[in-house]
């Protein structure tokens, strides 16, 4: 495609049998793309939904939204549908947006403002989870601006396991090495790491957008092997990149964050019946992470202490980290001469 005619950003939405969620997602997207011309492409890849997904998309097309709608002749599985979205995206950058996630009002303009500044590998968007009302449940902390990182380890330290969250990562297709055969990651439930990590490692600069732009619906899926996916599968993908020359320290950073935050919280929630991890976490995680101190300090207590006590301790630790981050951000803002993007060595 002629680069001059190419959209700057593709918002690609893979979907299956969740018309009501998709309706809300499109409502927030379509209302924001008015006035941006051809800078943004909207792509919906319907994995042969039996519900009224087609009617929902048609409603927005009739209202004037320029949506490219693709309906698969058969269900090709979630990973292959995600990969199809990535491959079909015409934009230089692509954001694979979950059909149940929301781009907060004004987000698309803010994303475009960042993308127009330079050639970045991954632009990581701050996100938060909500249960009922994304406006009322937005965290009180109001971080602003963005930071550019030319050190991939520092960038990984900020994005860590949220690199797996498709709705939070805008990826530059020009930095993705297709020779790694993205199909090999289908079946892991983390196929998106193929292009996200490739772009991250190949680019000279990556970005963290600190302002909350993405709201994710909580507890509306589950039953899958959470520990298997984010433990075993993620580390198999990591090995592929490490063998190709990627810095192993980046994956150690991700694992430490998983062990101190992600696994403890979700294991405790599972034990309280809020969600289901869908697998035997002790059996899966011990062989992988027994050499990590964070495994013994955070994950093991979540598996062995009374569930409510484990979750209370986790929540207390998270609140302490949040307050510390808010204080650090406040003083950093006082010392900064300008609001907005800053280069970070």
Query: What CATH code is carried by the domain that includes residue 53?
Result: 3.90.550.10
H-type alpha helices, 48-163: 53-62, 78-88, 107-115, 152-159
Q: Is the pLDDT of residue 4 over 60?
A: yes
**pLDDT value of position 271:** 86
Residue 329 and residue 208 share a domain: no
**pLDDT value of position 143:** 87
* Residue predicted with more confidence, 274 or 44: 44
Residue 239 covered by a domain? no
Written as six digits, the tokens of 330 are 């406040």
Q: Is the pLDDT of residue 135 over 70?
A: yes
CA-based end-to-end distance of the chain: 34
Q: Is the pLDDT of residue 341 over 50?
A: no
**pLDDT value of position 344:** 37
Residue 57 covered by a domain? yes
Residue 95 and residue 19 share a domain: yes
**pLDDT value of position 339:** 35
Q: Identify which of 25-39, 128-142, 201-215, 294-308 has the greatest average pLDDT.
A: 201-215
DSSP letter, residue 91:
S
Written as six digits, the tokens of 85 are 């979205």
Residues 51, 123 contacting (CB under 8 angstroms): no
Residue 120 covered by a domain? yes
Residue 253 and residue 213 share a domain: no
C-alpha closest to that of 94 among 176, 154, 162, 205:
176
Q: Is the pLDDT of residue 179 over 50?
A: yes
C-alpha closest to that of 189 among 47, 70, 81, 49:
81
Q: Mean of the pLDDT values across residues 316-328? A: 55
Cα pseudo-dihedral 290, 293, 298, 302, rounded to 10: 20
Q: Which residue has the tokens 């495609």?
A: 1
Confidence of residue 223 (pLDDT cuts 50, 70, 90): low
Q: Mean of the pLDDT values across residues 310-338? A: 54
**pLDDT value of position 270:** 87
Domain total of the chain: 2
**pLDDT value of position 331:** 45
Residue 174 covered by a domain? yes
Q: Is the pLDDT of residue 334 over 50?
A: no
Q: Is the pLDDT of residue 86 over 90?
A: yes
Handedness of CA 221, 227, 229, 235 (dihedral sign): positive
Q: Mean of the pLDDT values across residues 144-171? A: 97
Residues 315, 261 contacting (CB under 8 angstroms): no
Q: Mean of the pLDDT values across residues 18-31? A: 96
pTM over 0.85: yes
Residue 136 and residue 185 share a domain: yes
Q: Is the pLDDT of residue 213 over 90?
A: yes
Residue 30 and residue 160 share a domain: yes
Q: Identify which of 141-145, 281-285, 325-329 has the greatest average pLDDT.
A: 281-285
Residue 11 covered by a domain? yes
Q: Is the pLDDT of residue 124 over 90?
A: yes
Residue 227 covered by a domain? no
**pLDDT value of position 336:** 40
H-type alpha helices, 122-170: 152-159
Q: What is the mean pLDDT of the chain?
A: 90
- Helix H or strand E segment including 14: strand 9-15
**pLDDT value of position 109:** 96
Confidence of residue 35 (pLDDT cuts 50, 70, 90): confident
* Residue predicted with more confidence, 298 or 279: 298
Residue 252 and residue 193 share a domain: no
C-alpha closest to that of 241 among 297, 187, 292, 179:
179
Range of the domain at 273: 244-344
Q: Is the pLDDT of residue 200 over 70?
A: yes
C-alpha separations of 123 from 105, 116, 158, 209, 250 in Å: 18, 12, 12, 7, 17
Classified as helix, coil or strand, 61 is helix
Mean pLDDT lowest for which of 271-275, 327-331, 333-337? 333-337
Backbone Cα Rg of the chain: 20
Q: Which residue has the tokens 């693709």?
A: 70
């Amino acid at each position: 495609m002629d680069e001059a005619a190419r959209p700057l950003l593709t918002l690609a939405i893979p979907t299956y049998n969740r018309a009501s969620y998709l309706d809300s997602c499109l409502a927030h997207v379509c209302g924001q793309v008015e006035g941006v011309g051809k800078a943004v492409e909207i792509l919906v890849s319907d994995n042969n939904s039996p519900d009224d997904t087609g009617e929902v998309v048609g409603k927005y097309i009739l209202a004037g939204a320029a949506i490219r709608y693709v309906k698969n002749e058969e269900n090709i599985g979630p990973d292959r549908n995600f990969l199809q979205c990535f491959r079909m995206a015409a934009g230089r950058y692509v954001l694979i947006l979950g059909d149940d996630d929301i781009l907060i009002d004004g987000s698309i303009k803010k994303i475009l403002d960042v993308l127009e500044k330079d050639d970045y590998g991954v632009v990581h968007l701050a996100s938060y989870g909500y249960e009922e009302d994304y406006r009322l449940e937005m965290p009180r902390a109001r971080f602003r601006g963005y930071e550019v990182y030319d050190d991939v380890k520092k960038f990984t330290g900020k994005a860590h396991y949220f690199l797996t969250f498709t709705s939070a990562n805008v990826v530059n297709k020009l930095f993705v090495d297709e020779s790694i055969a993205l199909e090999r990651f289908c079946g892991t439930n983390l196929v998106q790491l193929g292009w996200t990590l490739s772009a991250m490692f190949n680019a000279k600069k990556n970005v963290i957008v600190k302002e909350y732009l993405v709201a994710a619906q909580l507890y509306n899926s589950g039953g899958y092997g959470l520990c298997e996916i984010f433990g075993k599968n993620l580390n198999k993908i990591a090995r592929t990149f490490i063998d190709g020359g990627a810095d192993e320290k980046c994956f150690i950073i991700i694992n430490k964050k998983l062990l101190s935050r992600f696994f403890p919280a979700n294991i405790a929630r599972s034990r309280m019946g809020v969600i289901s991890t869908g697998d035997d976490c002790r059996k899966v995680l011990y062989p992988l992470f027994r050499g990590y101190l964070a495994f013994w300090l955070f994950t093991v207590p979540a598996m062995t202490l009374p569930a409510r006590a484990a979750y209370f301790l986790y929540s207390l630790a998270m609140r302490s980290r949040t307050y510390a981050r808010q204080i650090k951000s406040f003083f950093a803002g006082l010392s900064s001469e300008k609001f907005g993007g800053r280069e970070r060595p």
